[in-house]
Structure formats: C-alpha cells, structure tokens
Amino acid sequence: MKRRVVCVFSLIFWFIILCTLLSIRVEQLMKPTVEIREIHMPMPNTSISADALFYDEAGMHLYKVSPSYGWDAGMRVSEYSGYVLQNDRLSNLDNGSFVLYATHDLRPNDEVLIREEPYLYMDDIWVATYPNGIPAYSLAADNITAEVQTDTALLLSVPGADYPFMEGRARTWIETVKSEDYYMQAPESAVYSLNDLYRFINSALPMALLVSLILFSIAIWARCCSLSRSCKENGRALLINSILAAMTLLGIILTLQFIDLPGSLLPSDRITHITCYVAKLSALFSALRDLAQNGSVAADSALRFAESRLILSGLAVLTGAVLSAGKLVFGRKLDRTHSKPKPKHAAW
C-alpha cells in the first residue's frame, strides 16, 4: 500500500513539474508586444490616431500601459474611457502611455512588452483579406507594392517591414475610404504576415514532438505504477523507466524552447482556443489558394510548406501515440525480461 502511495504521489509531483513548465512557456508566448505613444503634457489639441482602438464583443477600447508592482509586477494595460472620438482622431487624453498597436488583441490587466528602440525591420509579405470585396485603396509607402490581387484578397510585398508584425499597424498602410461608423464596429478586413505564418508552421513539429513526449511520459509512469507492486523483482525495470522518465522530461524542456508562436496568430484569451486558430488559418489558407491560382509564387510556396510540415507533424503525433501504446502493451514483457536476475556461473 505504501509503495502504491509513493508511486501515485511521484506521478502527481511529475504532473506539477510538467504543468509548471508548460505554464511558464505559455505565459511567455501569450505576452503581447505593444507600440505606445507617450503623452507627458497633454494640450487641448493633443490627439492620437483612432486606429489605436481595439474592438471586441463589448465595443471599442483604448488602453494605457502603466507599471504594476507586487505579485503581478510588470507593465500592464488598463482601459481608458475618457477619450473623445472625432473623425479619425482620439482627443481629451491625459498623461500616460497609450497603446497604438499590439501583436494581438488586449484585455485589461494583460502584461505586455513595450517595443523599444532600436526597432527591428525585416522584409515581409502581407496578405490582406476583404470578405466583401477589395475596396478602392492606396498604399501609404512607395516601397510597398501590390503583387497579386483577387476579388477578396491582396498580396503585398513589404521590404523592411516593422517587426514584430502588428495587424493594426499594417492596416494603416493600406489606405481605404472609411465610413462614419468604421471605428464603432469590428474591421471587415484582416491582414496577415507570411513571416508569422512560417514561424507558426515551423513550431508545428516541436508542438507535435511535445505531445508525443507527454504521451510517452504518461505511459512510462503507468508502467512504473504497475511495476511498483513488486519492487524487488522489478527493481531493474523501475530504474530503467525512471531514467526514461527523466530523459523524457529533459526532452520536454528542450522542445518547449523551439516553440515560437507569433502573436498575430494567437488568441487573446487562452492559447488552447482552437476555434480561433481554425478561423484565422482557414481564412488565410483560403486567400493563399486563390492568390496561388492567380500566379503568386509566394502564396504557392507558403501553402506547400504548410502542407508538408502539418503532415510531418501529424505523423510525429501518430508515432508518439503508437510508441506510448507499445510501451503499455509490450512494456510489461520487456520489463520482466530486464527484471530477471542474471544466472550465476559456477567457479572453475
């Protein structure tokens, strides 16, 4: 009975370690990067662009960034409700740092990273989608060029784009005629970065490996619980499985470092919000397919790369599931073989 209790508590302790490692990495990935506008001495004509408004089910929101202390120390956002929206500007602002753009949608009390100098830039390709048809537009910079266009999608080449990618900032570079209630409702368009798509797809294989390692770890601990009934006879097998469990935990720690999910494709509430990924990737892949049919080499390359990596990731998860099942089914026989004492040879 005592051995069973020790085994169960060791399994619980292992799960606590695993959950702690996962939560630390998830917190790092879910922390959005923001670009701010600091206002030190507001004047009557002080204003910022209305593109700084964020939309959700409750309406439009303007956020400020301020330091927080104590157990939740860090730079956190809070909602500012005293602004006045007039045309495309926000006025009646007080002192503070206002969020202009973010890598994904914000919520009050979110901890954020502030984009600071020196700023980073890299060549990028943007895909802008317009479900109701592409309106008349102009590009705010001469170096941005429209490569391919369909009825509902636009592919743009953007040399030296700001990094990290922020959809709100990217949308301002595609100038369209805005209706009177443009800032009072969710934007109809969406802008995606192919650099962020490649980062997301590159993380698919490490995530698949992570799932496989977790499944294999569960199988190892299940075998350890079974072997603990007879520690004397299964001492060697328990030692081997304990070493495997330690190696698997080390593999999980290393694999987590290779998962680098871009903020623009992450949900704002929780990282396991599957429907959010499905909605964003479905819209993006649909636009890429249309653009590829219209002769876009970049769109075709992105689709092929995503397809090959997702298939490889699926095979990795399947392999992990098979190995875990094999550990449970055939492990008992193998562990018994290792547990048998070696025969002693007679002395000459």
Confidence bin at 56 (pLDDT 50/70/90):
confident
Identify the pLDDT of residue 141.
87
Domain range annotation of the chain: 2-27+201-339, 35-114, 120-187
Instruction: Specify the 3-state DSSP secondary structure of 37.
Output: strand
CB 228 within 8 A of CB 238: yes
Q: 156 pairs with which residues across the strands?
A: 126, 146
Identify the pLDDT of residue 311.
94
Q: Six-digit token pair at 167? A: 């959809």
- pLDDT over 50 at 346, yes or no: no
- pLDDT over 70 at 348, yes or no: no
Instruction: Specify the 3-state DSSP secondary structure of 124.
Output: strand
164 burial (CB, 10 Å; 0-12 / 13-18 / 19+) is buried
What integer is the mean pLDDT of 105-130?
91
Q: 84 pairs with which residues across the strands?
A: 91
Confidence bin at 339 (pLDDT 50/70/90):
low
Identify the pLDDT of residue 185.
75
Strands 113-114 and 96-102: unpaired
